[in-house]
Every structure is written in structure tokens, then in C-alpha cells.
Amino acid sequence: MFELNSKMNDERIEDLGENHVATSAENPVRPDAFDISNEEKIAKIEESVKDILYTLGMDLTDDSMQGTPKRVAKAFVNEMFMGLDPKNKPKASTFDNNYNYGEMLVEKNIVVYSTCEHHLLPIIGRAHVAYISDGKVIGLSKMNRIVEYFAKRPQVQERLTMQIVQAMQEALGTDDVACVIDAKHLCVNSRGIKDIESSTVTAEFGGKFNEKETKREFLDYLKMDTKF
């Protein structure tokens, strides 16, 4: 019975990963995740990467490979997954809407570099974020930084889309925020089905963006071809 239950659990876990299913709207981070320093994390990950490469049969004494474990460890902690650390959350400074701009503001084509939490392969795409001011406005670059912060962690695209909207709503003090992400998942493009053409589109609409006309206006803005 134990073997049967274990096999069923393994199959369930595999299905979750293959179907890119998230189990929570929050990233599954342990409470003790930041009890050790980044330097300690890098050292531990370096040793783990050495074990992986050695197990794969790589010669770690080769000049090309000697620095790879540390390079990977530093990239994981300082770049690819820096968004896991709350200390890196950008300060979303807002300002009074003194010029009384009352239409929606749309920031298009924000580059998304993230990592699929099921296979640790890249997610690459574009985010389009919009809001309607309720008395506050936010710096344009802050919108990019919010996207980057939540993207730089093991992620699921649906969760990422929701987190961006929630962070913008919190910063602006309004529900009137929307986000659409169109991205390619290399876990689909380079393995498994190996479909290099498909992309995944997710959307989260808050407040007025749930109204048909407002939603349509936002989506129409995304169709505009911006060239300089």
C-alpha cells in the first residue's frame, strides 16, 4: 500500500509540473529562507552544482569548467532568484496626481526574464501593465522594477501576473490595475512537447478593468505598433 501511495504521489507531482500548475498565489518559500547570508548560500549551491556536474560525468578540472559551479551559484543568488529576498523589493514611490490625468496609463512591452519553478528553465516574454489613477501616480521605471522583482524567482506565470497587479494596487491605493503577460516557456519549447512556436498569455484585471469597455480599451492599446 505504501509503494502504491508513493507511486500515486510521484505521478501527481509530475502532473503538476508538466501542466504548470501552481499550488499557491504566494511563492513557496520556507520561513527560515533568510537565516543564512547570501555568501553562505552561494557556497552551499556551489558544492551542489559541483555534485550535479560530476554526476553527469563532467571533468571539473578542465579550465572551462573550473569556475562554473561558483558562476552558477552567484547567478542563482544575486540575479536569477534575487526576487525571493524581500530586501530586494523595490520602493514603489508614488506622487500626487497634481496634473489630474484621468485616463489609464499603460506601460507596454516590459521585458520578462523569469524561471519556471517546475524545470528551472527560462520564461521569456513581455508584460503590459496599466492603471487608472485614484489620486496617486507611480514612476514609470518603478513599474518595470516591480515586474523584475516578482519575475526573478522560481515562478509560475499565472502567479507572476497576479503578484504584479497586487503590488501595484498596494502601491497606488486603488484596485484599478491590470496586467497581461505573453511569454515563451523553454520547458515547453526546448523539452517535452518541444513546441518552439507557442507562447502563454495570462491576464489579471482589477477594479474598473473588469468593465467591458475599460478592458477593451486596454487591450486595444496593446495592439498599437510603437516604433521610433
| Catalytic sites, residue numbers | 116-119, 157, 185, 187
- Please state, in angstroms and rounded to a whole number, the distance separating the CA atoms of residues 175 and 133: 10
Q: What does the alpha-carbon distance between residue 121 and residue 18 come to, in Å, rounded to a whole number?
A: 13
How many angstroms separate the CA atoms of 42 and 46, rounded? 6
Residue 42 vs residues 47, 49, 72, 84, 134: alpha-carbon distances, Å: 9, 10, 9, 14, 43
Residue with cell 526574464: 113
Count CB neighbours of 3 within 10 A.
7
The C-alpha cell at 6 is: 508513493
What backbone torsions phi and psi does residue 204 show, to the nearest 5 degrees? -140, 125
Q: Contact 122/115 with Cβ under 8 angstroms? A: yes
DSSP state of 208: G
Q: Could you tell me if 181 and 125 are in contact, meaning their C-beta atoms sit under 8 angstroms apart?
A: yes
